[in-house]
Amino acid sequence: MKKAFTLLLTIILTTVMLSGCTGSSGSSKSTTEKTTVENTAPTTPSPKPSKPVTLRFWQAGGDTAGASEKMSELINKFTEKYPNITVEYQAISWAEDPHAKFQAAIVGNDIADLLIVGSPFDFVLANSDQIISLDKYIDDTFKNDLQFVNECTYTGKNEKLKGKLISVPLFGDARTIVYNKDLFQKAGVPEPTTSWTHEEFYNNAAALTKKIDGVQVYGFGTSARYASQYLPFVWNLGGEILNEDMTKSTVNTPSWKAAIEYYKKFFDNNITPPGSVNLNLADIQKMFANGEVAMFVTTQDYVKELMKDPAMKDKIGVGQMPHEQKQTAFAGADVFVIPVLSKNPDEAAQLLRFLVSTDNQVDYCKTVGFIPSLKSAASNPAFTEDPIKKVFTQAVSYGKYYVKTEKSNTITTILRGEIQSAVSNQKTIDKALQDIDTAINDALKQ
């Protein structure tokens, strides 16, 4: 119980950062959907439970249009195959703070048998010893077909789980450049169909910053509030947040300084919209839809929503992230975990394996708009030939994940305030990086 209360404190502090690692899902659906799927199909081959089992399955998010409906459809197929299992499925939108709800359920000893959470919340649960290793349910064939598998292997301080597979992704995604083709054409700027250098990215964003058809256009829509917006520039220059064993900050380095100096130039030279130091990503997305922002960095689900607008559909292009020494993109995933308190872990694993099968991955991700977690599914023409999806699939191939540690949220909070201070000239970059370094190291010692 002590670990559960420790988890409560952790989640109170981590909710904002961890909700919807894969994208824009934090702003949409506000209702909870609950579907109870009854077993109606014929009996199927083993493995199957010897007596009826009711399996509770909760999904954090599922906000994207059609996501919870598609999940319910797949669950119906599962219960047709395994008629002794009844699945009670509940999708909890990001706006309802699902991670906090899961924590409360753990404290109340009433957690579901199977969860989908936003990574790195799986590490938070593992640190608190609230989830089990999935190794015994994962054979080599399945593991070799999994993308993002390194991100699901635990590397924290819980010795019982160290080196174990603690989660399996439902899907992954990476943020990449989305741009307005019309504005690029009118500004005489080539589209980013191949990766630009940092210098090319800056120069083209500057060339796009002008009045076009009487509307003031800003070349690069971004916000210093979000690490996802500037970390790729840091990573591209070789910077990291922590050292390899996650015990020390590595922020106060020349790589970080060069990256933040580069990022700050967009603000200093008004290439970003006014107030970009504090803007919400949703505001930037609205400005893009209004033709006030020429390009920004976002996720596939938002592009899917934009494409529904007939006025925007043919104007939207998706490009590759810029590069320097490296090319990276901010990646994320929603992942399955099985709680220690699960009453039916074997059946939960059975449902997990069913949902993370090639055909079901293709079916789900075609509807929802992310990248399948299985290579065999991601190689489907639906993802490799679609002009939008194939670019996001490429971005995933060089995607890089946020640092996974029990201090992830604390680090996010530290970065947010200090980078905003540096970009807005309240501190020098040197001072901000020094303060970040000190604050992170202090946090790691606690």
pLDDT tens for 274-323 read: 999 999 888 998 999 999 999 999 988 788 888 888 888 899 999 999 99
For residue 6, the model assigns a pLDDT of 47
Percent helix, strand and coil across the chain, each rounded to 5? Answer: 45, 20, 35
Share of residues in the chain with pLDDT > 90 (%): 66
Segment 187-191 shows an average pLDDT of 96
Assign 246 a pLDDT band (cuts: 50, 70, 90).
confident
pLDDT for residue 49: 66
Which stretches within 157-253 are classed as H helix? 181-187, 198-208, 227-236
Average pLDDT score over residue span 59-85 = 90
Integer Rg of the chain from CA: 22
pLDDT (tens digit, 9 = 90+) per residue, 13-28? 444 333 334 443 333 3
Apex 243 CA angle, 241 and 246, nearest 5:
90
Residue 331: beta bridge partners?
Answer: 174, 401
Residue 21 confidence (pLDDT): 40
Of 43 and 109, which is predicted with more confidence? 109
Instruction: Give the lowest-confidence range in 164-173, 353-362, 405-414.
Output: 405-414
Quick check: 240 pLDDT over 80? yes
281, 385, 439, 352: which is closest to 74 by C-alpha? 352
Which residue in 399, 388, 359, 363 sits closest to 376, CA to CA?
Answer: 359
pLDDT in tens, 396-436: 889 998 988 878 878 999 999 999 999 999 999 999 999 99
Give the mean pLDDT of the chain.
87
pLDDT band at 47, cuts 50/70/90? low
pLDDT of residue 48: 63
